[in-house]
């Protein structure tokens, strides 16, 4: 199954790299989030006296981030993963409506390899966009500031967290894309799901800003788990022992989501691809 | 039975109760070209989809290459190549990339895949454009590429669903040549659906005429045409209100008369020798012949004989009912 999934993933990636607009759009979408939300939502705007966009008295509330972009960057990476993984499923919907998936079903391959091929290509595209978001955040005005002691392991931890989050979303949205029979229904479902996930996460604001009734939802949101884990690595050069367990729990919950969505995605794909 | 495809009582019912294929049985011999001929909506594509493991079988059994389609679909998929009705290539990939992807999905090692791809592309005269994206190909080029994409793993049986639908006559003839060549030179068994009479007639060793979900008759096209025992004379009479069926049956040498709207189709051994007597007889009743035409037996006449309607009439009727069915299906799909 692995070789077939890789072959199908490679097919989509080849097409993607031949479409410069798609590559640029995917890679640069973080810029809009950072530039627009980074400025308009920036709490430092309320404290015109603070230098360099510093969060000043709000720094502690914002997970210890020195400025808003440092807080926002992991959130934006999470949002890019969500939006990317959800909308990239359209390739599979188009494959289905064009009859291409029927052709694949006539090959002697496990039908779940069609699903995993979709997961692989989406994750690969997502992993191009995430480091670009990271780089852009450094260069925007009042941009990302690294904590003292931030090193290669912190960077690796951030990339691994992005990979995990991207995989979590891809497992779910790819399964959904294979199950949906028309592009109209697909986009309706995506719009219905992505905005609530986005705005009930701590991507833009810390947990303390949420009303009490919404806090459990925000805490359990995969974007919150991933962006809080990434913030720990950004804001603390060397992770204190107390924070290590927080980081590990964020990962454990993301892995639980990953396992659940893999099972759910495979079930959706099997049901959608079985002979009727 | 010992055919490469053996089908017994094959039935497909789409929920809740639409019986699209109704207890179909046939056998395809090794190395044969077998055509399922019928109008749109006859159940041909559903039959091919069941045999290629894409749709489940409601009732009956089917064996492809000796493997049970229901119980061993994976083994069946290894033996077959499938060319669907619509072109389903990846337009953004190059011609050769489409072939190599198909080879990869059939687990063919890369060096062998490249060698086979080169041979196949040459066979269908696409070797010069193999490195162009499929989106730049003409409709005929796409069809040719689609055909060889199904051959890259050297299947024993090739399934073609309406292989030339929508193509101009030159391209269609070219595709026919490739199909004939594949059957002749490689001994490939071919199962084909078509609603083109001349396609079935020219390519097939055996034709099965399908209408409204069931097979009405099957056999070699020449045998089927000979079974009609004669030529067909079609005539229409001015002021055709009066039913002349019984009168025309009484004319010497006329063996059968079928009335279709304002025209009469007469079956007779040799139309050339009988025509003067017919004209004289009709004139003797004070009637004037408006139009006559005659033809040697064709598969269309075989179709008319076994279904009571011509292929064109059947096509129009089914297109009309399918349009209604499509609207309902489309509504439920987009819900």
Same domain, B287 and B210: no
Average pLDDT in chain A:
86
Same domain, B130 and B255: no
Helix %, strand %, coil % of chain B (to 5): 40, 25, 30
Distance CA A180, CA B61 (A): 31
Residue B249, domain member (yes or no): yes
Please state, in angstroms and as integers, the Cα–Cα distance from residue A275 to each residue in A269, B44, B59, B213, following that order.
12, 17, 14, 19
Residue B23, domain member (yes or no): yes
Query: Distance of alpha carbon B53 from its chain centroid, rounded?
Result: 19
Residue B309, domain member (yes or no): no
Distance CA B10, CA A138 (A): 66
The 3-class secondary structure across B164-187, one letter per residue, is CCCCCHHHHHHHHHHHHHHHHHHC
pLDDT band per the 50, 70, 90 thresholds, residue A170: very high
Residue found under tokens 């990953």:
A258
Question: How much is the pLDDT for B240?
Answer: 62
- CB count within 10 Å of CB A1 equals 13
- Given a cut of 80, is residue B308 above it in pLDDT? no
Question: How much is the pLDDT for B234?
Answer: 87
User: Which residues of B fall within a CB distance of 8 Å from A105?
Assistant: 53-54
Tell which B residues from 106 to 165 touch A, by Cβ distance under 8 Å. 106-107, 133
Please state, in angstroms and as integers, the Cα–Cα distance from residue B126 to each residue in B89, B102, B116, following that order.
15, 17, 13
Same domain, B16 and B139: yes
Residue B162, domain member (yes or no): yes
**Interval B5-32: pLDDT, tens:** 999 999 999 888 888 999 999 999 999 9
pLDDT band per the 50, 70, 90 thresholds, residue B109: very high
Q: Check CB contact under 8 Å for A108 and B53.
A: no
Residue A38 structure tokens:
């980074």
Residue B243, domain member (yes or no): yes
Residue B307, domain member (yes or no): no
- Given a cut of 80, is residue B330 above it in pLDDT? no
Residue B189, domain member (yes or no): yes
Contact B188, B182 (CB under 8 A): yes
pLDDT band per the 50, 70, 90 thresholds, residue B333: very low
Same domain, B141 and B192: yes
Question: How much is the pLDDT for B139?
Answer: 86
Distance CA B230, CA B208 (A): 21
User: Which residues of A fall within a CB distance of 8 Å from B53?
Assistant: 105-106, 275
| Residues near A157 by beta carbon (within 8 Å), at least 6 away in sequence | A229, A230, A233, A247
Same domain, B213 and B239: no
Residue B326, domain member (yes or no): no
Q: How many domains does chain B have?
A: 2
Contact B157, B79 (CB under 8 A): yes
Is B134 strand, coil or helix?
helix
Q: Of B224, B247, B271, which residue is a domain's last?
A: B224
Per domain, the residue ranges of chain A are 2-32+60-273
User: Which residues of A fall within a CB distance of 8 Å from B78?
Assistant: 108
Backbone φ and ψ of B269, nearest 5°: -60, -50
Q: Is the minimum CB–CB distance between B217 and chain A shorter than 8 Å?
A: no
Q: Check CB contact under 8 Å for A276 and B55.
A: yes
Q: What domain range is B202 assigned to?
A: 5-224
Is B190 strand, coil or helix?
strand
pLDDT band per the 50, 70, 90 thresholds, residue B53: very high
């Amino acid at each position: 199954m692995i070789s077939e999934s890789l072959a199908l993933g490679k097919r989509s990636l080849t097409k993607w790299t031949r479409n410069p607009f798609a590559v640029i759009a995917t890679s640069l979408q973080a810029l809009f989030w950072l530039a627009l939300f980074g400025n308009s939502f920036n709490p430092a705007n309320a404290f015109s006296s603070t230098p360099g966009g510093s969060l000043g008295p709000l720094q502690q509330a914002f997970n210890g981030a020195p400025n808003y972009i440092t807080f926002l960057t992991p959130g934006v990476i999470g949002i890019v993963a969500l939006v990317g993984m959800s909308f990239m499923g359209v390739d599979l919907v188009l494959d289905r409506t064009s009859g291409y998936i029927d052709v694949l079903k006539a090959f002697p391959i496990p039908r779940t390899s069609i699903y995993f091929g979709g997961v692989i290509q989406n994750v690969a595209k997502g992993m191009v966009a995430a480091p670009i978001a990271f780089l852009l955040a450094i260069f925007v005005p009042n941009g990302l500031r690294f904590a003292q002691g931030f090193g290669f392991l912190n960077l690796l931890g951030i990339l691994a967290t992005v990979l995990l989050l991207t995989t979590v979303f891809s497992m779910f949205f790819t399964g959904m894309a294979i199950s949906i029979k028309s592009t109209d229904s697909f986009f309706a479902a995506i719009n219905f799901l992505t905005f609530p996930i986005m705005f009930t996460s701590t991507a833009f604001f810390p947990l303390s800003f949420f009303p009490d009734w919404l806090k459990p939802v925000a805490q359990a949101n995969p974007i919150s788990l991933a962006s809080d884990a990434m913030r720990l690595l950004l804001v603390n050069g060397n992770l204190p022992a107390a924070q290590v367990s927080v980081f590990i729990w964020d990962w454990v919950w993301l892995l639980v989501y990953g396992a659940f969505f893999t099972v759910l995605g495979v079930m959706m794909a099997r049901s959608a691809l079985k002979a009727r | 039975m010992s055919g490469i495809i053996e089908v017994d009582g094959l039935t497909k019912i789409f929920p809740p109760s639409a019986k699209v294929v109704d207890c179909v049985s046939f056998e395809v011999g090794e190395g044969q070209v077998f055509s399922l001929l019928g109008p749109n909506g006859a159940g041909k594509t559903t039959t091919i989809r069941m045999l290629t493991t894409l749709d489940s079988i409601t009732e009956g059994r089917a064996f492809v290459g000796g493997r049970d389609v229901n119980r061993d679909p994976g083994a069946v998929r290894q033996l077959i190549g499938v060319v669907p009705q619509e072109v389903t290539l990846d337009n953004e990939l190059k011609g050769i990339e489409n072939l190599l992807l198909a080879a990869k999905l059939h687990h063919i090692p890369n060096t062998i895949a490249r060698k086979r791809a080169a041979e196949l592309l040459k066979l269908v005269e696409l070797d010069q454009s193999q490195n162009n994206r499929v989106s730049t190909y003409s409709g005929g080029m796409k069809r040719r590429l689609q055909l060889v994409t199904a051959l890259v793993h050297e299947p024993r049986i090739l399934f073609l669903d309406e292989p030339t639908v929508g193509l101009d006559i030159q391209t269609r003839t070219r595709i026919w040549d490739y199909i004939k060549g594949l059957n002749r030179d490689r001994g490939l068994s071919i199962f084909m659906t078509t609603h083109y009479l001349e396609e079935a007639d020219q390519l097939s060793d055996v034709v099965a005429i399908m209408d409204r979900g069931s097979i009405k008759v099957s056999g070699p096209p020449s045998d089927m045409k000979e079974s009609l025992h004669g030529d067909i004379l079609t005539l229409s009479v001015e002021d055709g209100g009066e039913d002349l069926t019984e009168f025309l049956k009484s004319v010497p040498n006329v063996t059968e008369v079928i009335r279709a709207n304002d025209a009469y189709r007469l079956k007779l051994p040799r139309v050339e020798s009988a025509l003067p007597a017919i004209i004289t007889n009709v004139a003797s009743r004070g009637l004037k012949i408006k139009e006559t035409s005659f033809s040697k037996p064709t598969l269309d006449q075989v179709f008319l004989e076994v279904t009571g309607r011509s292929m064109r009439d059947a096509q129009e009727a089914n297109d009309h009912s399918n349009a209604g069915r499509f609207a309902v299906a489309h509504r439920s799909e987009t819900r």
